[in-house]
Amino acid sequence: MRAFEATQIYFERAAEKLELDPGISQMLEMPKREVQVQVTVERDNGELVNYVGFRVQHDNSRGPMKGGLRYHPEVNLDEVRALASLMTWKTAVVDLPYGGAKGGIGVDPNELSVRELERLTRAFVDQIHDIVGPDTDIPAPDMGTDYRVMGWFRNQWEKYHGFHPAVITGKPVEEYGAKGREEATGRGVGLLTVKLCKRIARKPPETRVAIQGFGNVGSHAAKFLHEAEFPVVAVSDVSGTYYDADGLNIPDLFRHKLHHPRGLLEGYSHCEVLPMQALLSLPGVDVLIPAALGGVIREDNVDEIQASVIVEGANGPVWPDADLELERRGITVLPDILANAGGVTVSYFEWVQNRQHYRWSLDRVRQELDRTMSDAFENVWQTAQQFDVSLRTAAFMIGINRVRRANELAGWHRSGG
Ligand code: NAD
């Protein structure tokens, strides 16, 4: 199955419940604009390499479009289209005044030097600078990109358009970034995991957590849950699965990752080390948090899942057939468009601060993040109860309905930008 097809299936399940008119449904599903560009970089040894870059702008009926930039070898138009669409529903579920977009380059950033990565980012900006901007489309970090990439992006864009730090979020904190942006997605995942567990009467010391991916999202979710006294018994990255039935020492793993040249857990020896794939099906795990790639829980491996709760830190980790099976087995899934919305929420706070030339304290960022995520969670939970649907369908219903309403108020005229 392809990523956009999966997103469409989730959209259609919710559209059916909302009894959406087919014309409106089609209008909301179809991306507004898709751009594909050539990105040529000179390697440090003088060799020229060419990559393909994308920016898909899905919808702007509720505000400027917003979505991350992904650097990964498997980035392709279909995946970027799916992720752009998810951003539209995500910003609507948490009620941010934004639409949805996504971008990326089909490249393995680990194969490039820091200077090559910078040249790649600047070359990409040269190709797309005229379609992004603080009032039109605002990129942010995603897999394979970080605050440095955001800083280079802003600097290159400003060469064309002048001073506008709000053109991109996730910037270095000392260069107009927001305090708390880096931790925000993982923190939001942690916050809602705690909320969900409370709602279904699961207490921290007896609720064992496993997290796939120990990058930005996975590591901060692990930290938050560890501090909330949930035993995090397993985490994984491309180097393997790290397991301790009594709970891992997360601060120690954090330190190890910080000192590894590629930010991996490779070489960590204070626990059991299992193959990378083992994480999804570990026995005795209550909460599973996929926080790496999309499409990892599918029809062919869904039967191996032993957890009773899944919190989607990654975008699109569960394919629709597997999702139905999980629902049939009574496994609660907190969907990506709600669970990992903490990143875009703090990106919104960063954008607001940039526009006001004002800085918030870390406490204020955390408080507002907590409030935004909690409100959205309550709304999704109530909708799921009211319509007797899964949390995913409820989240899609809320998102779709808000975007539909914005279009209705605009007299069904799609705006430019
Ligand atoms: P990242 O690049 O910082 O980390 C990815 C992690 O996953 C790394 O630890 C990597 O080693 C690991 N990984 C990759 N393939 C794996 C595999 N097959 N098995 C186990 N581990 C594997 O990326 P990130 O920013 O943490 O993003 C992770 C996911 O969260 C993505 O789906 C992304 O779209 C989503 N997301 C990120 C943000 C954000 O703010 N960064 C916001 C919303 C959603």
Could you tell me the residue ranges of all domains in the chain? 31-179, 182-339
Instruction: Please give the distance, rounded to the nearest whole angstrom, from the Cα atom of residue 223 to the centre of ligand 1.
Output: 15
Residues with CB under 6 A from ligand 1: 141-144, 185, 212-218, 236-238, 276, 291-294, 313-315, 340, 343
Which pLDDT belongs to residue 413?
75
Which token pair is 394?
A: 């409820």
Top CATH class of 182-339 equals alpha beta
Question: What is the phi/psi pair of residue 319, to 5°?
Answer: -75, 155
Give residue-wise pLDDT tens across range 91-102: 999 999 999 999
Q: What percent of the chain has pLDDT over 70?
A: 99
Instruction: Please give the distance, rounded to the nearest whole angstrom, from the Cα atom of residue 181 to the centre of ligand 1.
Output: 16
Give residue-wise pLDDT tens across range 75-126: 999 999 999 999 999 999 999 999 999 999 999 999 999 999 999 999 999 9
Question: What is the phi/psi pair of residue 183, to 5°?
Answer: -85, -10
CATH topology of domain 31-179: Rossmann fold (3.40.50)
> What is the amino acid identity at position 132?
V
Which pLDDT belongs to residue 262?
87
Instruction: Please tell me the distance from the alpha carbon of residue 146 to that of residue 71, in angstroms, as a whole number.
Output: 10
Q: Whose CA is nearest to atom 31 of ligand 1?
A: 314
Q: What is the atom index within ligand 1 of the atom nearest the CA of 70?
A: 34
Q: Whose CA is nearest to atom 29 of ligand 1?
A: 314
Q: What is the atom index within ligand 1 of the atom nearest the CA of 83?
A: 34
Instruction: Please give the distance, rounded to the nearest whole angstrom, from the Cα atom of residue 290 to the centre of ligand 1.
Output: 9
Instruction: Please tell me the distance from the alpha carbon of residue 123 to that of residue 128, in angstroms, as a whole number.
Output: 9
Q: Whose CA is nearest to atom 2 of ligand 1?
A: 143
**Sites in the chain below the pLDDT cut of 70:** 414-417
Catalytic residue among 90, 102, 179, 223: 102
Distances in Å between the Cα of 343 and the Cα atoms of 95, 105, 254, 326, 349 are 14, 20, 20, 26, 10
Does the pTM exceed 0.75? yes
Is there a shared CATH topology between the 31-179 domain and the 182-339 domain? yes
66 is annotated as an active-site residue: no
